[in-house]
Amino acid sequence: MRTVAVPLGERSYPVVVGAGASGELAALVPGGVRRVAVVTQRAVGVEVDTGRDQRTFAVPDGEGAKTLSVVEDLCRGFSAFGLTRADCVVGIGGGVVTDLAGFAAAVYMRGVAVVHVATSLLGMIDAAIGGKTGVNLPEGKNLVGAFWQPAAVVCDLDHLATLPPRQLRSGRGEMAKYAFIGVPGLLELGLEDQVAACVACKAEVVGADERESGGRAILNYGHTLGHALETVGGYTLLHGEAVAVGLSFAARLACRLGRIDPAGVERHDRVLDSFELPTRLPEGARAAELISVMGRDKKAVDGLTFVLDGPGGLEVVAGVDRRAVEATLVDMGAR
């Protein structure tokens, strides 16, 4: 068992990583809390004891649950339960749950404490940490949300033993991103060390740029195309699968723009292949449709905008030529 701190001054919080970490939950709920609203999905099947008066609120399964109407249902349920600003929300599940629970906690009574118990690999190394919460619109993923830091995060590795293989592989799509950000020797580490290393990397980046006004944007590596693939495909691709394709695309686009050489692309492919992740676009993908959705990405303040590798490492590159983007998508199988 190990603890990684997310350094945010008075709002710093611990991320507890290890087998059996859920046993620490009651001690991590903020002092003075009398009621806990537990947000989860029935498919998660994880029960916890917060040591307080608690009530469970189940949200629908799948990415389709991330809507404003589900957040409204949660907030109305919190009110009926008698949740006050002195109480707490606990999200138990993967990224869908922590996004929903965090956003509902951020807006209910203008903010109540939230603690996350991540049960998926993707949630442990990314979604539950850093305070980015949100829901989707038909126009794109996570277009409505808030920054709302949790009071603590629990990463109980025991939950991964029952995770379906595809979900575990999806988590590795986010893990691959950390290999490119610069976590040394990530592929050679054991699972607990991998999770802790990714958490520590994200904690460092978030601590330096909480609200994504600068360096934190590198955590979106591979996500611009990844989110577009999820949106146009109706979320048939899992998030980590879409991000993996986005990472492959970003490397190829960077090479086309002369930012990296073909060896850099091969390095990306080796990492993705080692995690058994896809590197090609889904059959039937349309370049024009993907470019249209990518143009609405949250980072896009000056034309098509991507996080790209280059001589100085990853950085945000704005105003990327549409023709280069389209040609790269076509090379990857788009129509």
The helix/strand/coil state of 251 is helix
Which residues lie across from 133 on neighbouring strands?
Answer: 146
**257 CB-near residues (< 8 Å, 6+ apart):** 308, 317, 320, 324
**38 CB-near residues (< 8 Å, 6+ apart):** 48, 50, 54, 55, 56, 57, 89, 90, 92
Query: How far, in Å, CA of 202 to CA of 225, rounded?
Result: 21
CA geometry: angle 97, 134, 220, nearest 5 deg: 100
pLDDT in the model for residue 298: 66
List, by residue number, the catalytic residues: 110, 132, 174, 202, 212, 216, 220, 223, 227, 239
pLDDT in the model for residue 300: 63
Query: How far, in Å, CA of 92 to CA of 106, rounded?
Result: 16
The helix/strand/coil state of 86 is coil
Ordered by start, the domain boundaries in the chain are 2-172, 221-331
Q: Which residue has the tokens 């956003």?
A: 103
What is the CATH code of the structural domain delimited by 221-331?
1.20.1090.10
The helix/strand/coil state of 233 is coil
pLDDT in the model for residue 191: 95
pLDDT in the model for residue 214: 83
Task: Look up residue 217 and give its two tokens.
Answer: 């944007």
Query: What topology does CATH give the domain 2-172?
Result: Rossmann fold (3.40.50)
- pLDDT tens for each residue of the chain, 335 residues long: 999 999 999 999 999 999 999 999 999 999 999 999 999 999 999 999 999 999 999 999 999 999 999 999 999 999 999 999 999 999 999 999 999 999 999 999 999 999 999 999 999 999 999 999 999 999 899 999 999 999 999 999 999 998 999 999 999 999 999 999 989 899 999 999 999 999 999 999 999 999 988 889 999 999 999 999 999 999 999 999 999 999 999 999 999 999 999 999 999 999 999 999 999 999 999 999 999 999 987 666 678 999 999 999 999 999 999 999 999 999 999 99
Residue 320: burial class (beta carbons within 10 Å; 0-12, 13-18, 19+): buried
**94 CB-near residues (< 8 Å, 6+ apart):** 44, 118, 119, 120, 122, 123, 127, 167
The helix/strand/coil state of 328 is helix
